[in-house]
Structure 1
Amino acid sequence: MRTPEIRDGARLWEIAKDSQVLDTNSSYAYLLWCRDFAATSVVAEVDGRVAGFVIGYLRPESPRTVFVWQVAVDHDQRGRGLGVAMLDRLVDNLIDAEGHGVDALETTVSPDNPASIAMFAALARRRGAEMTTTELFTPGDFPDSHIAEDLYRIAPIARKTERDL
């Protein structure tokens, strides 16, 4: 696992498009994400090929909160824990050895995506954190056809210790 580079942008776009679950952004957006938000994102490689990604950002109004924009794993790597492993890496990258850095993780998930909800619940359990859910965006908030997006908040989130591994 590593931070993304511009050369990864096209592959991130392919994985997102092939997921058939995520809202696929433009290929340009993934290139920018790999350039401008690499420090708050992670890619996982399997056999030298990007097999998954987490892209996120620090919330401007709450810089100790990382917002996870998208998590995706290539179809042939799903069900192996790669998604939660990338989330673990992201959190560890954003918290130093003294525990300074982010203390919360937020994301939105639509109610029809139980796999994603389970992945974030697993992260909360692994970190000994509470996961709360509130409604964030209703279908009426979107200009096109889109189901609700609930906000999931995991806090307080801390760096894993040796005993947690």
Structure 2
Amino acid sequence: MTAAQADRARARSDFREMPEGLTLDAPQLDDGAALWRIARDSRTLDLNSSYSYLLWCRDFAATSVVARDEGGEPVGFITGYVRPSHPRTLVVWQVAVDESARGRGLAAAMLDGLALRTARELGTDGIETTVTPDNTPSNRLFTSFAERHGAATEKEVLFDAGVFPESGHEPEILYRIGPLASLKDPDPLTVH
């Protein structure tokens, strides 16, 4: 095996495999209702209006991803956008997996696939997201993503609990992950 082949094999191992029977795709407008339902049924996400999920599918499809089952139905999604003042940064807004697809590593596979696609198509090399301290699954998802890709992680409070209009909201901790050198490999896996 040549050094280049070894590097490519190592880069492939940095990415989570898609669970069997599921594929990644850019969201379509018709997916908006399903994304809203998955977010609602998660019982952990702040539920946005159904209108906002339609807008995400229309205006932010290039920076979002949907996982589809064998019948083409959405079973998970990540919504995101490129930060206007930092165009090399993908901001992950929401991550959700339908109950029927949980426990198979889908959130990690979607995050890897989205990060790879936006790196290739938009030149991003870092991720930002916010997570509340009590959201153990999301804290694990982003920590393991950074470890898998050998990326530095910085954390700080972005929004303290006191800035939210409703009482009882926890602070939102900003994760800055990057640079993501593993995304520079020309073909670690195929993403649509």
Q: Which bin holds the TM-score, normalised by the shorter protein? A: over 0.9
Corresponding residue to 1:91 among 115, 124, 130 = 115
Q: Work out whether residues 54 and 68 of structure 1, in 8 Å CA contact, stay in contact via their aligned partners in 2.
A: yes
* Correspondence for 2:143: 121
Residue pairs, 1:106-117, within 5 angstroms: 106-117=128-139
Aligned-residue offset at 1:77: 1.2
Structure 1 length-normalised TM: 0.93
Residues 85-113 of structure 1, C-alpha deviations (whole Å, 9 max, x = no match): 1111111111229xx71111000000000
* % same residue: 55
The alignment partner of 2:25 has SS state of coil
For residue 104 of structure 2, what is the aligned residue in structure 1? 80
Q: CA deviation at 1:164?
A: 6.9
Distance apart, 1:161 and its partner CA:
3.8
Q: Does 1:23 pair with 2:46?
A: yes
* Alignment counterpart, residue 67 of structure 1, candidates 73, 88, 91: 91
Q: Greater relative contact order (Cα 8 A, min sep 6): structure 1 or 2?
A: 2
When normalised by structure 2's length, the TM-score is 0.80
Secondary structure, counterpart of 1:4 in structure 2:
coil
Q: In the TM superposition, what whole-angstrom CA distance separates every residue of 1:3-44 from its partner, at most 9, and x where no partner exists?
A: 000000000000000111100000000000000000000000
Q: Which digits, 9 at most, give the CA deviation of each residue in 1:61-89, with x for residues without a partner?
A: 11110100000000121121100111111
Gaps of 5+ in 2: 1-23
Cα distance change, pair 163–125 in 1 and its aligned pair in 2 (3 A): farther
Matched positions, count:
163
Amino acid at match of 1:124: A
Structure 1 residues without counterparts, runs of 5 or longer: none
Determine which of 10, 32, 35 is the counterpart of 1:12: 35
* Rg larger in structure: 2
Report how far residue 162 of structure 1 moved: 8.2
Distance 1:86 1:96, change over 3 A: same
CA drift at 1:47? 2.4
CA distance in 2, matches of 1:14, 1:42: 16
Question: Which segment drifts farther, 128-137 or 30-39?
Answer: 128-137
3-state secondary structure, aligned to 2:120:
coil
**What is aligned with 2:160?**
138
